């Protein structure tokens, strides 16, 4: 009989008394509840601002700022003349000859360029050439840039006519 008694003891679990069973049952429900409550506090504490983060509105505004802007220009404004555009846009480099730009009224530097024709000069100004960046799409429209090119070329010995503003649709014949 002692052999049968040893086999019976080998198949019993760690819980020996009803009190142990009650404590184990309560622990199996209470411990996971506390773990869940702790995780909830941990996750929700991430949404709170850190101490000293008083400029959070500014940082949020920087993160959600617009990528691009749309600028609406007045298409009916009078076109600026070549001298005015030259003084505003071109004189920074062409007055001093910066970055290899031909100096204003320097017939020697402009002679070869003038021989290429007005269309080539205007294309170079609009699309850029060498160290000069593209001027098309900037503060001035293409006709105003062309007028500045004519102004500079004519002051260096060229004989180009200043481009006229395109006729409005109502004025066409």
pLDDT digits (tens, 9 = 90+) for 61-117: 777 887 777 777 676 778 888 888 888 888 888 888 888 889 888 888 888 888 988
- Per-residue confidence band for 29, with pLDDT thresholds at 50, 70 and 90: very high
Report the alpha-carbon distance of residue 25 to residue 15 in Å, rounded: 11
124 has a pLDDT exceeding 70:
yes
- Per-residue confidence band for 10, with pLDDT thresholds at 50, 70 and 90: low
89 touches 139 (CB < 8 A): yes
For residue 94, give the H/E element and its range. Answer: helix 91-94
- Per-residue confidence band for 139, with pLDDT thresholds at 50, 70 and 90: confident
Tell me what pLDDT residue 8 has: 60
**Cα separation values, 21 from 10, 15, 25, 26, 58, Å:** 19, 6, 6, 9, 58
Q: Hey, what domains does the chain have and what are their CATH numbers?
A: 82-166 (1.10.760.10)
Which of 118-122, 129-133, 136-140 has maximum average pLDDT?
118-122
**Cα dihedral across residues 69, 72, 73, 75: positive or negative:** positive
Tell me what pLDDT residue 173 has: 44
- CB under 8 Å to 98, separation ≥6 — which residues? 92
pTM for this one?
0.55
Calculate what percentage of the chain has a pLDDT beyond 70: 80
């Amino acid at each position: 009989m002692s052999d049968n008694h040893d086999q019976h003891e080998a198949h019993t679990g760690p819980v020996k008394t009803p009190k142990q069973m009650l404590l184990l049952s309560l622990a199996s429900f209470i411990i996971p509840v506390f773990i869940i409550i702790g995780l909830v506090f941990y996750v929700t504490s991430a949404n709170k601002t850190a101490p000293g983060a008083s400029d959070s509105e500014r940082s949020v505004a920087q993160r959600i700022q617009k990528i691009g802007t749309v600028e609406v220009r007045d298409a009916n404004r009078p076109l600026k003349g070549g001298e005015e555009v030259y003084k505003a846009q071109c004189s920074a480099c062409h007055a001093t000859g910066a970055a290899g730009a031909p100096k204003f009224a320097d017939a020697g530097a402009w002679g070869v360029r003038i021989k290429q024709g007005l269309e080539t000069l205007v294309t170079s100004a609009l699309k850029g050439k060498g160290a000069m960046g593209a001027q098309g799409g900037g503060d001035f429209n293409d006709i105003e840039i062309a007028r500045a090119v004519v102004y500079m070329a004519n002051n260096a010995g060229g004989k180009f006519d200043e481009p006229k503003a395109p006729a409005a649709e109502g004025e066409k014949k």
